[in-house]
Structure 1
Amino acid sequence: MAIANESRQEEQNMREEHHGAGRYWLIWVLLLVLTAVTVVTGRIHIPTWGLVLALVVATTKGTLVLLYFMHLIDHRGANRLVFAVSILFVVLMLAIPLVDLGTRYRGATPPGSTVSDMQAIDIGADAMEGRFGGGLRKEGKTGEQSGSPRQ
């Protein structure tokens, strides 16, 4: 019965409190500014903090929409708890893989990735020469054409 009473109490509080349109215009302007930040930072290359900035801006925009346009800021109790737990899980689901990636030892990081300092191995040219058991043969000393089978 506590949940039903809480819903009735919230319903009465929402009827009594009417918010003006000014709050919604302010949130809309903030969302436009954050969208402009997303567009500007997306066009410039920020190698170190680009991903973190994009995630913070996206989370902030989503939180503003949830709190004000979906009226979560006016609710109490279970709705706020569900919102807080979902934000906690989003942070955990992003932080745990990023910490794992950042703390890997050198042998587990593939060569050529953005977090590795090892050189990428180019096997494309070697495969064309037939060193790895396939590919096309180049024209050799005997005058064979590339790709022609030996007889």
Structure 2
Amino acid sequence: MGIANESRQEEQNMREEHHGAGRYWLIWGLLLVLTVVTVVTGRIHIPTWGLVLALVIASTKGTLVLLYFMHLADHRGANRLVFAVSIIFVVLMLAIPLVDLGTRYRGATPPGSTYSDLQALDIGADAQEGRYGGGIRKEGKTGEESGATKQ
């Protein structure tokens, strides 16, 4: 019965409290500004904080939509608790892998990746020259044709 009473109470509170259209226009304007910021920062190369900035902007936009367009700001009790716990879990699910990646020792990141300062190995050219036991020979001749005699 507690849940049914809570929903009746929320319904009664929402009938008494009507928000004008100005609130929605303001939130819509904020969402448009954040979208423009996302596009502008996406075209700029920000090597260290680009991902964090994009995640903060996306999380802010999602929170605005949840709070105002889905009326979560008007609700009380369990709905807010579920929202807060889900935000905490999203932050943890993003932060833990990023911290792990940022604190790895040098040998754990493959050479040539964006997170490594080691040079990438270019074995394609070496393999074609025959240095690694295969590939294409430049002369196109076998050992016998190049002047070696059988005894």
TM over 0.5, shorter chain: yes
Mapped partners of 2:105, 2:58: distance in 1: 30
Q: TM-score, normalised by structure 2?
A: 0.89
Mapped partners of 2:135, 2:67: distance in 1: 59
Q: Which residue of 2 aligns with 1:31?
A: 31
Q: Which residue of 2 aligns with 1:102?
A: 102
Higher Rg:
2
> Is 1:137 aligned with 2:137?
yes
Q: Which residue of 2 aligns with 1:84?
A: 84
Q: Which residue of 2 aligns with 1:124?
A: 124
Secondary structure of 1:136's counterpart equals coil
Secondary structure of 1:117's counterpart equals coil
Mapped partners of 1:120, 1:127: distance in 2: 15
Mapped partners of 1:33, 1:52: distance in 2: 18
| Equivalent AA in structure 1 for residue 5 of structure 2 | N
Q: Which residue of 2 aligns with 1:44?
A: 44
After superposition, give the CA deviation of every residue in 1:36-71 in whole Å (9 maximum; x if it has no partner): 000000111111111110000000000000000000
Q: Which residue of 1 aligns with 2:111?
A: 111
| Equivalent AA in structure 2 for residue 70 of structure 1 | M
Secondary structure of 1:48's counterpart equals coil
Mapped partners of 2:4, 2:134: distance in 1: 72
| Equivalent AA in structure 2 for residue 136 of structure 1 | I
**Runs of at least 4 residues of structure 1 off by over 4 A?**
none
Q: Which residue of 1 aligns with 2:6?
A: 6
How many residue pairs end up in the alignment? 144
Q: TM-score, normalised by structure 1?
A: 0.89
Residue 136 of structure 1 deviates from its aligned partner by 2.5
After superposition, give the CA deviation of every residue in 1:82-111 in whole Å (9 maximum; x if it has no partner): 111110111000000000001101111111
| Equivalent AA in structure 1 for residue 52 of structure 2 | V
Q: Which residue of 1 aligns with 2:148?
A: none
Percent identity over the alignment?
87
Residue 78 of structure 1 deviates from its aligned partner by 0.8
